[in-house]
Amino acid sequence: MQQQKKIVALRSKEMFYNFEPYMNRTNGSPGWQWKFLVNANHKGRVALGANRIGKSEMGAFECCLAITGQHPFREYPESGIGWIVGLDNPMLRDVDRPMFEKLLPSRFKSKFHKQDNIWECRGDGREWIIVFKSTEAGRLKFQGAKLAFAWIDEEPKNPEIFPEIETRLIDLRGPWWITATPLLGTAALKALSEREDVYTTFAGMRDNPYLPLEEIENFAKQLSEDDRLVRVEGEYIVWGGKPVFNRRHLRALKARADELALPETGVLVSC
């Protein structure tokens, strides 16, 4: 009994057991992190949004839920291979891997192979291999494995990378999720986010209740209009062309159509 109490006390201090998706500051409703979590049974999920809204944190938390078998909305096997994909090795080293290690319960941290950038995760009768992969390695480095899940943090520069990742998930019917501030603004990511089997959510910087509003406004003043739309408002722009994923514009069109009793256009706007 004493040992059990000690274990409970130790676990209560770990970030994994204290993580809770935040509520929107604007209206107190469940924020994008809650929606992302609840919709885990989709084949794919895309979280598009501003900087500093907890996208990487949520992506890493989803990985840890899969490994520990504690996801409230999706079942994962007791063993498998998961990929954590970043833009380059510095991003993996400085952002994705530290966030993952911070959230993964300590009892699952069996061994890290630095040379191969692989974590062995064992605990509670579960065995997982987590491989950190850089998109800079090229398409051929994304072949061969049968994956149980894949998390892609930020939009891959090479459009050939994602199809390779999705192919690795077919055998085990594994899910994937992307968390990104769409700075590249590619048409490929836009098309991916609009697939019927993909859940997409958006969030702006002001939705995060932990960011000082005055700092957000000061930051926004320093940006161009397009950069502000992406980095602060969390909107999608296909760079080099007309903004095609502007939420305010789409909502205005929808409201005008309703007002004029026009037929639906089939455009779905996720909030």
Phi–psi pair at 23, nearest 5 degrees: -95, 150
Phi–psi pair at 67, nearest 5 degrees: -65, -45
DSSP string, 52-106: TSSHHHHHHHHHHHHHHT--SS----SEEEEEEEESSHHHIIIIIHHHHHHHS-G
pTM for the whole structure: 0.83
Q: What is the pLDDT of residue 171?
A: 96
200 pLDDT tier (thresholds 50, 70, 90):
very high
Q: What is the pLDDT of residue 255?
A: 54
3-state SS, residue 207: helix
Average pLDDT along the chain: 86
Q: What is the pLDDT of residues 128-141, one digit of tens each?
A: 999 999 999 888 88
pLDDT over 50 at 166, yes or no: yes
Taking residues 113-137, what's their average pLDDT?
Answer: 96
Q: What is the pLDDT of residues 20-74, one digit of tens each?
A: 999 988 788 899 999 999 999 999 999 999 999 999 999 999 999 999 999 999 9
Looking at residue 178, its amino acid is: I
Q: What is the pLDDT of residue 254?
A: 45
Phi–psi pair at 110, nearest 5 degrees: -85, -55
Taking residues 191-198, what's their average pLDDT?
Answer: 92
Q: What is the pLDDT of residue 24?
A: 87
Q: What is the pLDDT of residue 168?
A: 96
Q: What is the pLDDT of residue 4?
A: 47
Return d(Cα 159, Cα 157) in angstroms, integer. Answer: 6
The domains of the chain, with CATH numbers, are 20-211 (3.40.50.300)
Q: What is the pLDDT of residue 1?
A: 52
Return d(Cα 207, Cα 85) in angstroms, integer. Answer: 26
Return d(Cα 202, Cα 53) in angstroms, integer. Answer: 10
Query: To the nearest 10°, the Cα dihedral for 9, 67, 47, 233?
Result: 30
Task: Give the count of alpha carbons within 13 A of 185, CB side only.
Answer: 20
**In this predicted model, which residue has the larger pLDDT, 125 or 271?**
125
pLDDT over 80 at 198, yes or no: yes
CB-based contacts of 222: which residues, under 8 Å, 6+ apart?
Answer: none
Q: 């064992």: which residue's tokens?
A: 122
Lowest mean pLDDT among 55-69, 72-86, 130-144, 228-242: 228-242
Pairing of β 126-134 and β 118-123: antiparallel
